[in-house]
Structure 1
């Protein structure tokens, strides 16, 4: 596998994160957020976004997986759950990408079972063409085409996460 066409540059990503943070700051003025990042993919987006959020926040993470190679398994595994109590808090799930919606729907339902005050979703990349389960996404960075992408936290078999931009992935040869 080799890196293909660049879809989003560092500059585009940085500017859009600032816009998302500004919206979150306005929406949560006077409140405290529990920002729940979904690892591993969201680590770059999460880090850059929370540094731009100016309202009080607490950080926490969930480690989940649902992909093998380039295909979703349709089964969501939660390897590590939140450690901070969710009950009564204003929660934002921060994820790198939503495609089928299966993972985010599952995680959202698990967190809603813990009775948060509110729960919203923020994603950098939205691949609407692949949606199998409808999930409300209140904060979305970019809508992208139905291509396998890597970079800025997203991966192929744990490779390419360190790219500072988002690109397509192509078969070599």
Structure 2
């Protein structure tokens, strides 16, 4: 499918699953090298990261633990900038290597909030692994952003865990909104 319709929006193919999987394999190799003889805590940001995190963890061979946090700042196709926490952080991150797994980083508001909350527990390290990054949308630099699958323009994307008003997460490819 080169183009799809979700609710009232048209989308066109942007990143095919094969390319996504190849990039994830490379990130997994890098994580295995960087965290050799360590036991990182992978913290997935729900709902969007669940597919990326599942595929990423299949490539990780080092011993690790996994958890999730649910935070939202989206309304429709725009980040609202208001953080709404649904589930909290685990409380055992002291002296741990924490890897926050995100589907997409755009403004960085949500990620900045998560990092500041993790820092309160004095972890050994915090790194961020995001499938997508919108550099032009980033409001302030995020030093912890270490692993990025793809840098993209400031387009609205859906699929592979990313949604449009709750729809489209189940698509295996990533689509971008068609220009009108």
The 5 Å alignment of 1:126-141 reads 126-136=133-143, 137-141=145-149
**Corresponding residue for residue 149 of structure 1:** 157
CA distance in 2, matches of 1:108, 1:10: 29
1:121 equivalent to 2:138? Answer no
CA distance in 1, matches of 2:116, 2:10: 35
CA offsets 1:10-49 (integer angstroms, 9 cap, x no match): 0000000000000000000000010000000000000000
TM-score where L is the length of structure 2: 0.92
**Corresponding residue for residue 71 of structure 1:** 78
Contact 1:2 1:171 (C-alpha < 8 Å) held by counterparts: no
Identify the match of residue 35 of structure 2 among 28, 41, 49.
28
1:159 equivalent to 2:167? Answer yes
CA distance in 2, matches of 1:57, 1:128: 29
The runs of at least 4 consecutive aligned structure 1 residues that moved more than 4 Å come to none
CA distance in 2, matches of 1:32, 1:18: 19
**Residue 76 of structure 1, CA deviation:** 1.3
**Residue 84 of structure 1, CA deviation:** 5.2
**Corresponding residue for residue 86 of structure 1:** 93
**Corresponding residue for residue 103 of structure 2:** 96
1:60 equivalent to 2:84? Answer no
TM-score where L is the length of structure 1: 0.95
**Corresponding residue for residue 46 of structure 1:** 53
Q: Pairwise CA RMSD of aligned residues? A: 1.3
CA distance in 2, matches of 1:144, 1:24: 22
**Corresponding residue for residue 17 of structure 2:** 10
